[in-house]
Amino acid sequence: MKETSELLKQRRKKLDELAKEGINLFPNDFKVTHTSQEIRERFEQMEANELEKVEEECSLAGRIMAVRNFGKAAFIHIQDRKGKIQAYIQKNVVGSTHFNIFNKLDMGDFVGIRGRVFLTRTKELTIKVNQIKLLVKSLRPLPEKWHGLSNIEIRYRQRYLDLLINIQVKEVFYRRNKIIQMIRAFLQDREFIEVETPMMQPIPGGATACPFKTHHNTFNLDLYLRISPELYLKRLLVGGVERVFEINRNFRNEGISTQHNPEFTMLEFYQAYATYEDLMYLTEEMICHISQHLVGSLKIPYLDKEIDFTPPWQRLSMKQAIIHYGQIEPHILEDRDLALKYLQTLGLSPSTQDGLGKIVNEIFEKVVQPHLITPTFITSYPTETSPLARRSDTNPEEVERFELFINGQEIANAFSELNDPIEQKERFLKQLSLSESTEEVGKLDEDFIHALEYGMPPAAGEGVGIDRLVMLLSNSASIRDVILFPLLKPGR
């Protein structure tokens, strides 16, 4: 700490000296003509004698990341958004005044440079500087190769330094951006339109979760950060928007883990005149498309394993999966008392109000989900756990729904939509009567029922966890690694 404090004093002293010399410490008039990547692409194939004949000058700006000063000349490495490049500064070229200013610069400062490109004796592409300008003076020293900033929580708190020092971290977020761009293009090519629906809702709906509560002063109205956009997107189906999607944040006032953050990004889309089976094919096609174009393969490394996206993906009903992975007799899943006893042997204690469907679902999460490493669609969910999904025509105790699991994580949830307003209201009321939660979720969305009464076309809808998908496709172990600023406890 004492050493850091001394470095801060030294940098502040240099800042004051530059100010006394009349140097503009924070100008914004330097014009960039090339990035480091453009310079490499333009000149890296040329030999030294060819570069000598090139009169073109390049202007580049970035942060100083390394300095080797020899007294009357120096090499520096400058980092911009495209990478790093070396520059060579000579006192007899830039002049004594500018070289003296350069000597007051530190690693981490932003500079603008101008000059011609040449090759050093070690064949490194370098800019021979004839002009250098201070753009920003950094008052804090950068970490040295992450020394002293290895604590992962500090990396999340100071993400700006994490991005600056660790190029792999920056690549994860560039990859995240590409994934979202490809999802948008994929859906738009299939005539889906992108919309934005309310983040603050008078009644939180579309999922079972604890919401965050806020208050609107002008209307004197309690509102909730949305847990899902589902009911608003379905209103658009009623309005004739037959293919619609939204990529945006959801908020759930629940736990934090390597797979959960209180605010997270979801893709949610709806297609009229489609079933959940249609969306299985669409989802498989979309993720394979992203993997192929992003990674160049349908087989991707993830931590200590390889995940194969090659279609067709495995499909199992929930009960088939439990029987297969749990090695239990089928009749146990048909009797509430037997299923309850089996669940208790797993160390779980369900609510006394839970019906057979919820108990079977809990058994599935315990004995099956961790084994679903390769992409697997689990179908035939209990009606009891799916209040917005259409009942199966062959078994009213089950709904037309799937969840996609990869590496033991739920990646997507989809179903054929319930569009019968009478049944939907009955299910909502039953759900409310069994709810043990507080008033935040104890309200019936009458306006949504009202919308359904005008008629919603048969449709299917799906939600895809963007953060978890990015984790898989960027080989990241934690959801915090793919969210720029994850929620953390307040620091000291």
Residue intervals in the chain for CATH 3.30.930.10: 164-313+374-481
168 vs 112 pLDDT, higher one: 112
Q: Quick: pLDDT tens for 43-100.
A: 999 999 999 999 999 999 999 999 999 999 999 999 999 999 999 999 999 999 999 9
Residue 442: band (very low, low, confident or very high) from pLDDT cuts 50, 70, 90: low
Residue 375: band (very low, low, confident or very high) from pLDDT cuts 50, 70, 90: very high
Q: Quick: pLDDT tens for 193-220.
A: 999 999 999 999 888 889 999 999 999 9
Token pair in block for residue 219: 């209307």
Give me the pLDDT at residue 145, please: 57
Residue 439: band (very low, low, confident or very high) from pLDDT cuts 50, 70, 90: very low
**3-16: b or e for each residue (b if 16 or more CB lie within 10 Å)?**
eeeeeeeebeebbe
Give me the pLDDT at residue 123, please: 93
Own/partner contacts of 27-34, CB < 8 Å, gap of 24 or more, are 27/133, 27/134, 27/135, 28/135, 30/59, 30/61, 30/112, 30/133, 30/135, 31/59, 32/59, 32/60, 32/61, 32/112, 33/58, 33/59, 33/60, 34/58, 34/59, 34/60
CATH architecture for segment(s) 164-313+374-481: 2-Layer Sandwich (3.30)
Residue carrying the six token digits 């997507």: 412
Query: At residue 1, does pLDDT exceed 80?
Result: no
Give me the pLDDT at residue 289, please: 98
Residue intervals in the chain for CATH 2.40.50.140: 2-142
Q: Express as a percent the part of the chain with pLDDT over 90.
A: 86
Mean pLDDT of 291-312: 96
Mean pLDDT of 179-186: 98
Give me the pLDDT at residue 146, please: 46
Query: At residue 184, does pLDDT exceed 50?
Result: yes
Mean pLDDT of 309-331: 96
CA angle, residues 433, 437, 441, in degrees to nearest 5: 80
Q: Quick: pLDDT tens for 115-144.
A: 999 999 999 999 999 999 999 999 999 886
Residue 23: band (very low, low, confident or very high) from pLDDT cuts 50, 70, 90: very high
Q: Quick: pLDDT tens for 97-108.
A: 999 999 999 999
Give me the pLDDT at residue 22, please: 93
Residue 490: band (very low, low, confident or very high) from pLDDT cuts 50, 70, 90: confident
Q: Quick: pLDDT tens for 145-170.
A: 545 456 688 889 999 988 888 889 99
Give me the pLDDT at residue 434, please: 74
Alpha helices in 158-229 (DSSP H): 159-165, 167-189
Q: Express as a percent the part of the chain with pLDDT over 70.
A: 96
CATH code of 2-142, in short, is 2.40.50.140
